[in-house]
Chains A and B, each alone.
Chain A
Amino acid sequence: MTAVVQPTLTASLHDRPAFQEQRVRQLSKDEAWSRRIMVRDTMVPITTAGRAAPRADLVALILALLTALLVAAPVLSLLLIAWQPAGDVWPVLLAYVLQPAITDTALLVLGVGSLTLLIGAGTAFLMTSFDFPGRRVLLWLLPLPLAVPTYLVAYVYVDLFEPLGLIHRVLTLALPSADALALLPALRSLPGAVLLLGLVLYPYVYLAAQALWQAQSADASEAARVLGASRGTIFWRITLPMARPALAVGAALVALETLNDIGASEYLGVRTLTVAVFTTWLNRGSLAGAAQLALVLLCLVALLIAIERIARRKASVELPSEATRLKPRTALSARRGWAALTICLLPPLLGFIVPVLYLLGTALRRAVLSGIEPSLWRDALHTVTLAVIATGLALLLALIVMLAQRWRADRTSAIATSVAQLGYALPGTVLALGLLTPLLAFDNAIAAIAASMGNAAPGLLLIGSGGALVLAYVIRFLAVPTGLLRAGFEQIPRDYDDSVRAVGAGRLTALWRIDLPLLKPALLGAAIVVFVDCLKELPATLLLRPLNVETLATSIYQYASRGSFEDGAMAALIIVAASVPPVIWLTRFSERRS
């Protein structure tokens, strides 16, 4: 029996990368029995295979809707706050604030978006198309700026490039002090913010583009070459358009990250909408006005997501299942190789190596001066534990949401997917504020139940335990795994699923045997990004953590806010250090696969 079926199954998989083929073969052995039934009676409708089991797609849809509800909870609670009268804040906002804030925000997002696309797509293209010296090291070096929080890169570069900083002192060796002063770039400015944010945010684009191009087929570009297309034409007409969905996901994440940044923009003197949300709340005493403004921001984000989706729809996204050999990398001549190395080294050099060296120098000097604080290790344990739990939960929920959409492909599941991505759009503090009401309504209800059962001092369950933090992280970062998994799913032709299901395997089997193995790069990529994002998260952590709990980020903040962030250098280094092994592991894994 097996022999009868196997040729038909593998025929369509002919020439597929060995890894995938092996998967399908293994499946065809393991599932021999169920296939036998199907083959014997081809009239059996597919759904009967899973009649006894609960409908997997329905379960997924319900769970996806629950996930969407979780993400929507803080947004709904913001809506309620925004419903209150905001006093007279709007005339002021309209007259003096909105126009400059929207201009600054738009310029910042456009600037950072373009810069990260340029760096991310450029380096990803070089890395996936060519072989050159140092490529193996660059493979794990390029994503690492992800580990450097935006507020940190702002502090480090301002300190280096400001008057009396290292660069100024070096320049004064050759020039009179005043001339050297004139040469220093004005980093505390909009262009400065674009540059600094771009240096640490480009990995979002790089990771997405690199994962896609790494798996690209050689067919299209080879056909083009046979037809006489130049290398440039192939890049602009084939390679780049093919990556459009991945680039859109990466750029959207960058835009959202830029929009919800507050620390770096405020420090660098850029008055974004997010800054306006805070002044409306804290200085003009109108939480309702701030919530209304935050919702305006959220609408902008919804618009961004919609644009991203349209951009994706235009691009033909699903690769044909006949996609065949991977495109081989071209070895570059020595001179070009060095050029490629230089281009690819520059972003991680500026976005990672320089800040880390700066932190190392500072931390070492502090350690000599005053020793390492023992509490730091406990903070590190808190941080990593929270990040691990939140990452696992975020990945699981994202997978469920995407499965519901893939399996059902209806409007409800599409809405659930869109809602699930909203959390990333809110500034952390606004998200935390919105989360307070539903979260504590839950906690207080549990406490009331516990009290009615005779427990004298029940306390608050979620906010008292760190559960609130895990939920906040999941809500905030769910957009990352959802986006990356969507791009991943789009790489899996639907006829894989259909082939497997045609032989009678249930959806879950198909998921386990086909989708998950193929999604592994996307899952791992998402895991790294979420994990590192959780390590860095500051504003929601500040407001929602339990008594006596510090994370590395809050520890850095403690020092930064009293104007001596150098004392937090050790904590910053631990954040960076904790991010390095998973990034290296991820790149090793994806290299082996290709």
Chain B
Amino acid sequence: MPRFRAIALAALALVLPTAGSRAADQVNVYTYRETKLVQPLFDAFTRETGIAVNVISASSGLEQRIKAEGANSPADVLLTVDIGRIDDAVLAGITQPIKSAVIDEIVPPQYRDPNGHWAGISMRARVIYAAKDRVKQDTISYEELADPKWKGKICIRSGQHIYNNALFAAYLAKYGEQKTEQWLRGLKANLAQKPSGGDRETARDVAAGKCDLGIGNTYYWALMMNADPDKKPWAEATKVLLPTFVGGGTHVNLSGVLLTKHAPNHANAVKLIEWLVSDSAQQIYADSNYEYPIRPGVPLNATVASYGKLIADPMPIAKIAAQRKAASILVDKVGFDN
């Protein structure tokens, strides 16, 4: 009997955190960004405003959950880590326009929805980790990655991973299907090994001499350099090159924020969204997540600044998002992951 009571109590403990999730001083966030990364932000928000933030994070399917929860959904805000999920959420019809003068003023038009359903809050660039001792050049273009001079010298994770999917979609948006297919075949022919692992393994393979160029996101390199003594040698053996499209800039991906259609804590949700682009929040994004702040004028983290000046490609994010499916099909067509 005591054992039963213990189980019942524990079960109650599970129920309790959700009780009162609609109280006046709360806001509920569904996020694709890991809780551990956004928690410092939310703690700061609660300290400043007294509004408690309840969180659930997942790797996929949050749009479907919000949709199924319907009008009773506790979700107020959805945070995503790439343009794909932003696009999916809007298409699923689970969002509403944010309608905030603050967002319109701070977030550059290129990084928000013309209809107001989403806004970017931070950026990361898809760049090159180059072997310091074997790669002499300090600039590089995305187009050049298909050049046979790199044959057997490039490492990359799965071509279907969302970060690569967005990069290839950006290429498609610029050059169309035929040229992109050609480029993907060239890139595939230059790979040192079958795509696998993550961006961190890519850096490691470059450091170990398996390949000379690795394709990865900006913050992974900064995390290896600053947050993990074991991985520091991998970062130290490589240098980050900010590649550009010929005649354009560097491919960036967005972390975005969306307001849900049935947000039960509407006012608090807008307050949180506006706060996320404030100076203090953007500084946290820059310093603890090693991302590029969306708000102009917020200083970069020193490591990120050391990559050089980022000139983001001007292609509108929405146009890139529209090419995701085509990019995914091309990856299969050229057998990129095989």
Contact = CB atoms under 8 A, between A and B. Distances in A.
A23 to B, nearest CB: 25
Interface stretch (A249-257, A279-287, A406-414, A522-530): A279-287
A388 B7 contact: yes
B14 A466 contact: yes
Contacts of B71: 444
A464 B74 contact: yes
A440 B230 CA distance: 45
A564 interface: yes
Interface stretch (A310-318, A430-438, A480-488): A430-438
Q: Which of B195, B207, B228 has the largest count of A CB atoms less than 10 A from its CB?
A: B228
A590 to B, nearest CB: 23
Given A444-B70, A563-B223, A385 B56 contact: no
B91 A546 contact: no
A283 B160 contact: yes
B60 interface: yes
Interface residues of A, number: 73
Interface in A149-195: 158, 162-164, 168, 177-178, 181, 186, 188-189
B338 A267 contact: no
Interface residues of B, number: 76
A282 B35 contact: no
B110 interface: no
A181 B209 contact: yes
Nearest to A92: B329
A189 B72 contact: no
Interface string B181-209: 00000000000011111111100110111
Nearest to A447: B72
A546 B11 CA distance: 13
A146 to B, nearest CB: 23
Contacts of B17: 546-549
Interface stretch (B61-69, B129-137, B240-248): B61-69
A547 B64 CA distance: 16
A459 B209 contact: no
A433 B61 contact: yes
Interface in A79-125: 92, 95-97, 100
B205 A163 contact: yes
B101 interface: no
A561 B81 CA distance: 12
Given A542-B58, A547-B55, A558 B35 contact: yes
B233 A164 contact: yes
Contact of A381 (B13, B324, B335): B13
Contact of B65 (A92, A285, A436): A436
A312 to B, nearest CB: 36
Contacts of A158: 197, 201
A3 to B, nearest CB: 40
Contacts of B72: 443-444, 447, 458-460
Interface string B49-62: 00000111111111
A281 B65 CA distance: 15
A564 B64 contact: no
B18 A543 contact: no
A268 B197 CA distance: 6
A542 B233 contact: no
B328 interface: yes
A557 B59 contact: yes
Interface in A271-314: 271, 275, 278-279, 281-285, 287
A242 to B, nearest CB: 39
Query: Closest 3 A-B residue pairs measured CB to CB?
Result: A269-B196, A163-B208, A283-B328
Given A178-B209, A389-B7, 12 more contacts: A163-B210, A281-B60, A283-B84, A385-B11, A385-B14, A444-B69, A447-B72, A464-B18, A466-B15, A547-B74, A561-B59, A562-B34
9 contacts: A158-B197, A162-B201, A163-B205, A281-B60, A287-B64, A429-B60, A437-B68, A444-B72, A562-B37
